[in-house]
């Protein structure tokens, strides 16, 4: 572990032979290739992203549900079924809201959270009608992130359209009034 962030031990040795030895001839040249080695800027960007994720996680108890019952009651996955967009997961987590008084309030700041995982090599836009007309906005941590790409994430309330850049995880929140 290098706290100067000059290196991250990229290419130091090969993976254990038990499951990987057959692939060593493919791996070795890539691990030895200096153009694949992350530079200090890459390492620091990864660190910044990791810190952002931790800040987001601790910004709401909705990200830390502790019982199966809470998860079943609050978590919904959108973008499912035959018309789903490949490479995209859309997860909503609901807190107490006027239309669902049976759900206990856990979060004083947010009534709904939507996380969009886009692993595609291109930007994705998709309409989620069930999430239309909400007051969602990009999470404040991501608005202020050093990652300019995540800041391009957009939610359009009229259609429930989410636009998320390539290979990005965007978190949208509905602030309490």
What span, in angstroms and rounded, lies between the C-alpha atoms of 25 and 23?
6
In a domain, 47, yes or no: no
Q: Quick check: is 36 in a domain?
A: no
Count other Cβ atoms within 10 Å, centred on residue 93: 22
- Measuring CA to CA, which residue among 85, 154, 145, 87 is closest to residue 114? 154
Q: What is the pLDDT of residue 100?
A: 67
| pLDDT surpasses 70 at 31 | yes
Average pLDDT, rounded, for the chain? 94
Residue-wise pLDDT tens digits, 41-100: 999 999 999 999 999 999 999 999 999 999 999 999 999 999 999 999 999 999 987 766
Determine the 3-state secondary structure of 124 from DSSP.
strand
Q: What is the pTM of this model?
A: 0.88
Residue 43's φ and ψ, nearest 5 degrees, are: -65, -45
Tell me, yes or no, whether 130 lies in a domain.
yes
Domain that holds residue 80: 62-175
pLDDT of residue 1: 82
pLDDT at residue 129 greater than cutoff 90? yes
Q: What is the CATH number of the domain that holds 150?
A: 2.60.40.1180
Residue 58, Cβ density class (10 Å: 0-12 exposed, 13-18 middle, ≥19 buried):
exposed
> Is there a domain that residue 104 lies in?
yes
Q: What is the mean pLDDT of residues 128-151?
A: 97
- What integer is the mean pLDDT of 112-125? 98
Q: Is residue 134 domain-resident? A: yes
Predicted confidence band of residue 102 (pLDDT cuts 50, 70, 90): confident
């Amino acid at each position: 572990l290098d706290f100067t962030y000059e290196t991250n031990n990229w290419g130091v040795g090969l993976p254990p032979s038990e499951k990987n030895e057959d692939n060593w001839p493919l791996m070795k040249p890539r691990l030895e290739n200096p153009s694949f080695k992350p530079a200090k800027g890459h390492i620091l960007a990864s660190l910044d992203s990791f810190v952002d994720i931790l800040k987001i996680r601790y910004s709401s108890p909705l990200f830390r549900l502790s019982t199966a019952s809470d998860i079943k009651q609050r978590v919904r996955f959108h973008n499912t079924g035959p018309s789903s967009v490949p490479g995209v997961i859309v997860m909503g987590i609901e807190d107490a809201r006027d239309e669902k008084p049976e759900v206990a309030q856990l979060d004083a700041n947010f009534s709904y959270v939507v996380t969009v995982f886009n692993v595609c090599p291109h930007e994705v836009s998709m309409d989620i009608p069930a999430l239309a007309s909400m007051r969602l906005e990009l999470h404040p941590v991501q608005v202020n992130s050093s990652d300019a790409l995540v800041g391009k994430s957009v939610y359009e309330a009229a259609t429930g359209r989410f636009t998320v850049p390539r290979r990005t995880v965007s978190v949208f929140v509905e602030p309490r009034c």
